[in-house]
Structures are given as structure tokens and as C-alpha cells.
Amino acid sequence: MTSDDAVVQARGLVVRRTGHVILDGLTFTIPRGRVTGLLGPSGCGKTTLMRALVGVQEISEGEATLLGLPAGHPRLRARVGYATQDPAVYTDLTLIENLRYFGTVLGLRGPGLSAAVTATIASLDLVGLEKRLVSTFSGGQLARVGLAVALLGAPDLLVLDEPTVGLDPVLRRDLWAMFHRLAASGAALLVSSHVMDEAARCDYLLFMRDGRFLAQAPPVEILRRTGADSLEDAFLRLAAPAASEVSHGGQP
């Protein structure tokens, strides 16, 4: 991959919080036009890495550049879409009120705002719910409202923290199809999950454990290198190559 394709470039990224090392010297690239999966068990640092990239977590050492600017740069705020694990939206507003407010904050106005809101509602299959209070939404609908806000501004980089957790299989399939459509249209996506069966849906994988990367490669490459027959198995082998698999029964 050439450096032109790299939307994110990180070198020796370290985040320390209250004396603990959360991210331990991460060097990686996230290219345009692909879905990069960030896979690892809960608590391994996935959310911290995502927060550092979108600029809401201070970086202790090393550097991360997004679209040629340092993470957290004001000019990145309209170009990076971020969906947190718990959908950070106003549950005491209707769907359309939420999207119109966040769209305005992103710099959309008038017909452009209306078009973006309509298109986002359609693409996330939320049509018909526009005038309902978000507090009355089901879990799956609520998760999609959080995603909708991240997609609104047509960002160049989408950072999605566990976007498909707890959703039904049909919805998950549709969302992954949408992620790949967005990538095909030129966006870069970083999608985290702690569920290994989602790994196969990614173009490229970052396997993470205890703040470090165990592997950075396409899924096929990881399978070939580890000789495992599933990505879950591959993760376990990478996590502790010397130990027997039985001792890792508790690992997700």
C-alpha cells in the first residue's frame, strides 16, 4: 500500500492512564477503501485506541496522523465519524431532531442537511421512525441511531466501536454490507469487535491483546501464517503460542 492510501498512520502510540499502560507502542496504518477490523477481548484497549484516534483521549507518547493532520486537530472534527459503544444520542428527542442537530453541528445546512438526514435514515433502515422519541426505540434501533450520527457528515474515516454487538443476524449482515459499500466509495473504516466471527468480514485485521497487536494482516494471511482453521483459533494461537489450547478456554 502506498502512503497516499493511508488515512491513519500511527507510530509508537502509547496511552497511559493513572500509571497504567493502556496502549503499548502501537504502529499501524489504516488504508482508504477498506474495512479494518480491530479485534480483541474486552478491556484490551480497543476503545482507548479509537478514542485516541478521534482526539478525545490524550496520547502519552508516539504519534498518530489522520488525513495528514495530528489526531485531535480541529479540522478533523467534521471529517472523522465516531460511534461509541453506547449510542451517545439524545433519547429525549425524536430521531429526526437528533440527526438535524448533529448534522448542523457537522456544518450541513438547508437542502444538504435534509438530503443527508433522509439518506442516512434510509441506509440504516430507520424509515418510519423519524418522529418517534429515541427513548422508545428497541436496542437494535438505538444502536443504529448512534451509527447514523457517525455517518451523517460523509466522513473520510469512520471509527465504529462495537457497532454490531447485540444485533440480530440479518441486521448484522446488512450493516457489514453497508460498511463495505462505504469503503468501496472511498472511506476508511475502523470497526472494533470482541466477537471473532466478525473478523472474517473484514478486509484487514488488527488483533489486539493487553494494549499490543498480536497480528496485523488480512484474514487469509493470518490463517495461513498460524495454520489455524478459524480466526478464533488463530487468535488463541497468537495469544499464547506455547500454551495448550485448553488453558485458554475462557478467552473470548
Partner 1 sequence: MTLATTVRSAPRLSRAAPPLSPALASATARRVLAQLRHDPRTVVMMLAVPSVLMILLRYVLDNPVALNRFAPAYIGVFPFVIMFIVTAITTQRERARGTLERLMAMPLGKLDLLAGYALAFGLVACLQVTVVLVISLTWLGVTLPGSAVPLGVVAVLDAVLGMALGLFASAFARSEFQAVQFMPAFVLPQALLCGLIVPRDHMTTVLSWLSDILPLTYAVDAMQRISDGASWTAAETADVAVIAAFTVAALVGGALTLRRSTR
- Contact call for residue 143 and partner 1 (CB under 8 A): no
- Contact call for residue 189 and partner 1 (CB under 8 A): no
Residue range at the interface with partner 1 (CB under 8 A); choices 39-47, 61-69, 90-98, 206-214: 90-98
Instruction: Report the nearest approach of partner 1 to the CB of residue 63 (Å).
Output: 15
Can you tell me which of 31, 37, 45, 153 binds partner 1, judged by CB under 8 A? 153
Residue 10 and residue 115: Cα distance in Å, rounded? Answer: 35
Q: Which residues contact 147 (CB under 8 A, 6 or more apart)?
A: 83, 87, 124, 160, 163, 175
- Contact call for residue 77 and partner 1 (CB under 8 A): yes
Can you tell me which of 7, 64, 116, 215 binds partner 1, judged by CB under 8 A? 116
Distances from the Cα of 221 to the Cαs of 31, 134, 215, 226, 233, in angstroms? 17, 42, 10, 9, 14
- Contact call for residue 79 and partner 1 (CB under 8 A): yes
- Residue 117's SS3 state is helix
Between residues 77 and 216, which has the closer beta carbon with respect to partner 1?
77
- Contact call for residue 186 and partner 1 (CB under 8 A): yes
Give 87's strand partners: none
Q: What type of residue is 165?
A: V
Instruction: Report the nearest approach of partner 1 to the CB of residue 186 (Å).
Output: 7
Instruction: Report the nearest approach of partner 1 to the CB of residue 19 (Å).
Output: 12
Closest CA to 81 of 110, 50, 57: 50
| Cα separation of the two ends of the chain | 31
Closest CA to 42 of 191, 169, 209, 231: 209
Q: Are 56 and 50 contacting, i.e. CB atoms less than 8 angstroms apart?
A: no
Between residues 19 and 227, which has the closer beta carbon with respect to partner 1?
19
Which residues lie near partner 1 (CB under 8 A)? Answer: 17, 51, 54-58, 72, 74-75, 77-80, 82, 84, 86, 88-94, 97, 101-102, 104-109, 112, 115-116, 119-120, 122-123, 133, 149, 151-154, 178, 181-182, 184-187
